[in-house]
Each structure stands twice: as structure tokens, then as C-alpha cells.
Amino acid sequence: PLVLLCGLPSSGKSTRARQLIEYLSVKFPDRRVSLIDESICVSGSTTAGAAVKTAIYAGAAAEKEARSCLKSETEQRLAASPTDVVILDSLNYIKGYRYELYCSVKHLRHTQCLIHCDVSPETAKSWNAQRPVEDRYPEDLFDQLCARFEEPNATNRWDSPLVLAPNAEPLLCSNVCQALFNRAPDRPNQSTQSRPSAASDFLPNFDAATRDVMQRVMAAQTGALPGDELIIAGCKRRLIYTRQLTMGELQRCRKQFLTGLRSRPATAAAATDAAAVTELFVDYLNSAL
């Protein structure tokens, strides 16, 4: 399961992460908890202090690289165990980024919960000023990050379930655990599942089988009358004969058939031998002609 923290700078995200870790250690001692924060993005850093924050968030390129690093580390830890709880302690202020993480969780068939440290910019700014100098966000950077923040919305599936942690009120850890452990994960769909690929010999097999069908059709239609069912040697399907077909027409149909299969690798992968390819192609000819 994934716990995603988000909020303004200095809004109490790390404090909430520690509270949740303490709660889990007591209530669910059999579950291992992994904490991920920005410190992993800067080589040699052990704390996410002001130098780390400035290095990451002061420039677009560095921030993009840091988000990629955090996402990669999160996905690796989620994939390592279905029972471990992974906590991502970062700003996570871009809704598109939260959606990417949601898709990763959905693909791995895990659950997630979003904790929004919901404090006003004024409160967050006062808390930032109370920090040790080495752990503060620079004032100009703080203002920039507040302006960029995209507040989560519980009606968005990637921001749900949403647990609010306003001001200094205690975190409702039981609600977080309810969201993580007492509900089924969202089912993967086409957007989060890898597309199955066809066999490596896709083109040679299909090329030979479809060319063979064309030759058989040309031979079978000799003497046939409209309305007859043409028997294609080696194929259970019958081709409904409506008119004299030319090799040019069959070649165009063949090209369209192969193009369609390339866009449907699952169908192509299911055609494991020449007989299956032949059946598919004859079905296509019946619909196309």
C-alpha cells in the first residue's frame, strides 16, 4: 500500500509521516514501513534540509529529475512486497504527478491513501520561520511553491481516499489504515496494463498464412456461383462467394488485415499457428467483401 503526503512547504508532512509510522508499529507490527523523501535524490545527503530543497525545487530540470527519482524508488518498493507500507513524504503538489503514482499503484494492484496537510499559506510560513535556519525553505522559494500547489480533490479518483490533516490536529491514523487495509485495490484497466506483445515471428507466420489463403481462394472460386460457400483447404470457416474476386482485391484486404492485427497485439498473440491465422483471415474476408 502507498501513503502519499502532500501539502504546502512546512505544512507538517514529515511530522504526519512520523505519527503514522509510530501508529503502524503499534497496531500493525507485522507490516514493514518504508519512508521515502527528497533526501534520496541528492547524492550524499542524509536530511532533507534547506540545501536539499533548494537544489531540488529551485530549477525545473532538477525538480523533474527529483520527481522521477522519487517515483522510481516508490514503484520499486511497492513492487518488492504487497504487504509493505510505502510512505512518500514530499510536496507532491502537481496533480498530474499524483495521477502517475495512482496509475502505478493501480497497475501493481495495491491500495493507496492521500494525506493532505491542509494548512493555510500563512500558517505554513510561520512554521517555516520557526524551523532551524538550516532546515527552512528560502522565502522566495517558499512563495513560489505555494503558488504552484494544486490542491487535491476527493472527487478525483487519484486523490481518493483523501484524509485531511488540518493545522496541528492529530492525524486520523485509523482512517488511513481503513483506506489501506480494508478495501479492495482499484482494478487495472487498459491505461495501466502493459499491452501483450505478439510472438517475435509475427510477420513471417502471418505473411505466409495469408498468402496461402489468397491462393486457395483464387483456386476455389473457379466455377463457383454467387451464394456458394467456398471451401478453403485447411480451414473450418467457409468463404461466402458473392462475385469474382481478383488478386488485387485480396491483396488489399490482406494488407488491411495485417495492419489491424498490429494494432491488436492480444489478438495476434492468440493466433499461435497457421491454422488460427487462416481462420482469422477468412473471417475478415467475409466481413470485408
Q: Where is the domain boundary, 143, 175, 192?
A: 192
Question: DSSP class of residue 159?
Answer: G
CB 93 within 8 A of CB 149: yes
Q: Where are the alpha helices (DSSP H) in 81-120?
A: 95-107
| 19 and 143 both lie in a single domain | yes
| 50 and 183 both lie in a single domain | yes
| 165 and 229 both lie in a single domain | no
The pLDDT score that the predictor gives to residue 195 is: 46
The pLDDT score that the predictor gives to residue 116 is: 97
| CA proximity to 192, closest of 255, 95, 112, 103 | 103
| 183 and 132 both lie in a single domain | yes
Please check the confidence at residue 217 and state whether its pLDDT lies above 60. yes
| 238 and 159 both lie in a single domain | no
More confident residue, 196 or 210: 210
Please identify which residue in the block is written with the cell numbers 488485387.
248
Query: Range with the lowest mean pLDDT among 20-24, 92-96, 145-149, 200-204?
Result: 200-204
pTM of the model: 0.64
| 164 and 35 both lie in a single domain | yes
| 127 and 45 both lie in a single domain | yes
Please check the confidence at residue 194 and state whether its pLDDT lies above 60. no
CATH number at 49 reads 3.40.50.300
Report the percentage of the chain scoring pLDDT > 90. Answer: 47
Question: What SS3 class is residue 113?
Answer: strand
| 163 and 76 both lie in a single domain | yes
Q: How many domains does the chain have?
A: 2
| 186 and 214 both lie in a single domain | no
More confident residue, 262 or 50: 262
| 18 and 133 both lie in a single domain | yes
Please check the confidence at residue 204 and state whether its pLDDT lies above 80. no
For 1-24, b/e burial (b = at least 16 CB within 10 A) is bbbbbbbbbbbbbbebbebbbebb
| CA proximity to 95, closest of 57, 144, 150 | 150
CB 27 within 8 A of CB 177: yes
Mean pLDDT of 21-41: 92
The pLDDT score that the predictor gives to residue 200 is: 44
Please check the confidence at residue 106 and state whether its pLDDT lies above 50. yes
| 186 and 275 both lie in a single domain | no
| 21 and 95 both lie in a single domain | yes
The pLDDT score that the predictor gives to residue 196 is: 45
* Domain, as residue range, for 255: 201-288
The pLDDT score that the predictor gives to residue 154 is: 93
Q: Where is the domain boundary, 146, 166, 192?
A: 192
| CA proximity to 85, closest of 63, 115, 64 | 115
Question: At 189, is the pLDDT very low, low, confident or very high (cuts 50, 70, 90)?
Answer: low
Q: Where is the domain boundary, 158, 192, 226?
A: 192
Residue-wise pLDDT tens digits, 67-78: 999 999 999 999
Mean pLDDT of 212-239: 84
Residue-wise pLDDT tens digits, 33-51: 999 998 887 654 444 556 6
